[in-house]
Amino acid sequence: MDIKGAKILVIGGAGLIGSHVVEELLKEDIKEVIIYDNFCRGTAENLEEALKDPRCRIYEIGGDILQTDILDSAMKGIDGVVHLAALWLLQCYEYPRAAFDVNIRGTFNVLEACVAHKVKRLIYSSSASVYGDSLTDVIREDHPYNNWTFYGATKIAGEHMFKAFHKRYGLEGVALRYMNVYGARQDYKGAYIAVMMKILDNIDKGLPPVVYGDGSQSYDFIYVSDVARANVCALKSDVPFGFYNVGRGIKTSIKELTEMILKITGSDLQIQYEPAGLTFVTNRVGDPVAAERDLGFTWSVDLEEGLRRLIEWRKKNMDAVEQRRKKARF
């Protein structure tokens, strides 16, 4: 899709990934970026820089994907949609009916509105959660669904509804299966990345970082600005439909992650191991080859550099970090 002069609607555009997608889009020669967000998890602070650009605005009437008339009005004249709005993993675990309403019914509403307004292209934020625990060393897109969570179930449903809309109505676009996304503006609500913020909190207090289990749980960490670029690459691509991993394809254990944070911060604290708590997945690394081949996306920020950026953002925004810490308690 040629996005020159296009109007793009970013649903969930005030969140961690969404706000970075907005900024990446504003680097392009587009006409307008409209942010559709109910600010359930996203924040106005995340959009401070983006809103300085006159081509960017928050949709003033509302931003809830369950309010179909408002969503319908936001879609008028839109060329492309990036759909990121969803309840996160632990919310879905605790409130499965809400997970159904927002992640499944809400996504259906988005798909329906895209068709009604002849949107040229939709990029749907899926998740590596559809895979569950890996059955292979590196997960390709044809890996079986091994998910056992409500969150993963909603993402599988979203993918297959999109597939059906593509088949029946010709709605084009792709679903992106994110690995473990981290970076500047992150909060404490990510089931696997919140560990980073909690480690840094402990280091600030002179307390040992806590690792649950033996620290061998391994994931594929990818920096948020790379994920944002993946969305723009997907929007600009000509692939009619498909599912793609967004990751680095590099395995990092929680123990290795913790040791890297200690090294970057210059801390000599020792890791404190505690009995494992609630864990949904213990091994997941995505194969990035298909996204590079078909979408032209390649990651650029390695883990150590990404952690340095996160730590630097955190130092400069301690008031915002404290607010995110408080919100995570509720």
Q: How far apart are CA 209 and CA 160, in angstroms?
A: 40
What is the structure's pLDDT at 195?
87
Q: Token digits for 133?
A: 């625990």
CB 251 within 8 A of CB 43: no
The CATH homologous superfamily to which domain 182-220+250-282+301-327 belongs is UDP-galactose 4-epimerase, domain 1 (3.90.25.10)
Q: How far apart are CA 288 and CA 285, in angstroms?
A: 9
- Find tokens 């981290």 and name the residue: 182
Domain 7-179+222-246 has CATH 3.90.400.10: no
Q: Which of 36, 59, 151, 182 is catalytic?
A: 151
Answer yes or no: 178 catalytic.
no
Question: pLDDT band at residue 108, thresholds of 50, 70 and 90?
Answer: very high
pLDDT in tens, 118-135: 999 999 999 999 999 899
pLDDT in tens, 21-79: 999 999 999 999 999 999 998 999 999 999 999 999 999 999 999 999 999 999 999 99
Q: Where are the domains of the chain?
A: 7-179+222-246, 182-220+250-282+301-327
Q: How far apart are CA 173 and CA 196, in angstroms?
A: 33
CB 56 within 8 A of CB 21: no
